[in-house]
Structure 1
Amino acid sequence: MSLRRPVLAVAATLALVGAAGCTADSVLDLEVGDCLNQSDLEGEEVSSAAAVECTEEHDAEIFGEHVFSGDDYPGVDTVQAESQETCLAEFEEFIGLPYEESALPFTMLYPSEQSWNDADDRTTLCIVVSDEPLTESLEGSKI
């Protein structure tokens, strides 16, 4: 499938820091429907991001997820490809427009090999982002 515009480069991989693994506001606690801020997602590895009420100012929202199975990490290329396929499919259902017709880009937080092995992390989060601050959910926005 060819896209009229590219998906944002993957912004982050999920990685756990420290021996304890989880931190306050761990990305492992985030779920579909949570709103957050892009500034919490910066860097190559992200271990924490605070969910905010969607009525509070934010510029990102988790709209989908892809859960992997298996014991062995499939490799970053496979993780990215399968995650992107799921996120593209779930984007239209959440936003109300196909990705190619939407003005909104998305990014993904996906498991790193370390979080896969150390924290049994098997979930990619699909995150729609906005250039403008929001005070409501993007679900059904048709933007």
Structure 2
Amino acid sequence: MTRPSRRRPASAVALLGAAVAGLVVLACSAGCTGVIPMPSAEPSHRADASPTPSTPPIPTPTASTGPPAGRSAGSQAPFHLEVGQCVDVRKDRRTGPESIVPCDVEHDDEAFDTFALDGGAYPGEVELETTATDGCRARFGGFIGVPYSESVYETYAVFPTAATWASGDRKVTCVVWYPADSVVGSLAGAGS
């Protein structure tokens, strides 16, 4: 006796694919910001497996009541963390000024470096992603204490979108995070 097939009908697979694609489009229309996580082949370890270095608390920034200087209220102003700022974003919602927390409390991400891109015409998302990724990975070891390829920590870059590029944004912010758990304290010099 043969077992009945558990194969899904092609129409169900197509419907599922369309639903997933719709969710991706909806998520991007709700706020894709050019944030690209960069995977690592290195294994992950729990944050409580080793002590996390501590540093003096970073002052909580004050919220701006209007658009940044040089921007009208209608223009799209990019959000970039400043070096040393930490955010509690839980990876399932958009990062913004409301998610900034002192680094001495539980958080997910920490901005560790910034750099400016050359001006000119918008190079396209793929080229920007490559440039931003390479730049952040090159700076990673100076902050963590070991090269990116040897670390349990991950990094991602926040870089200009086509819209923010058109308004003069050339800034890349490099962010480090621990994929296994949230952390308390800065990851500066964590060494793993």
TM-score for the superposition, normalised by structure 1: 0.73
Given the alignment, which residue of 87, 90, 98 partners 1:39? 90
Say if 2:113 and 2:136, in contact at 8 Å, map to a contact too: yes
1:1-60: CA deviation from partner (whole Å, max 9, x where unpaired): xxxxxxxxxx8417xxx82434xxx614x21111112436746xx6x2432110111011
Say if 2:76 and 2:163, in contact at 8 Å, map to a contact too: no
Letter in 2 for 1:27: F
Within 5 A, what are the aligned runs for 1:20-31?
20-22=75-77, 27-28=79-80, 30-31=81-82
Separation in 1, partners of 2:190, 2:119 = 36
Pairwise CA RMSD = 2.4
Unmatched 5+ stretches in structure 1: 1-10
- If each structure's strand is expressed as a fraction of its own residues, which one has the higher value? 1
Question: How much has 1:69 moved relative to structure 2?
Answer: 2.2
Runs of at least 4 residues of structure 1 off by over 4 A?
Answer: 40-43
State the aligned residue count: 122
Say if 2:84 and 2:112, in contact at 8 Å, map to a contact too: yes
Letter in 2 for 1:34: Q
Q: Pick which of 82-91 and 67-76 moved more.
A: 67-76
Larger Rg: 2
Question: How much has 1:66 moved relative to structure 2?
Answer: 2.7
Say if 1:32 and 1:65, in contact at 8 Å, map to a contact too: yes
* Percent identity of equivalent pairs: 29
2:108 corresponds to:
59
Separation in 1, partners of 2:169, 2:93 = 20
Within 5 A, what are the aligned runs for 1:116-131?
116-118=165-167, 120-130=168-178, 131=180
Separation in 1, partners of 2:136, 2:85 = 16
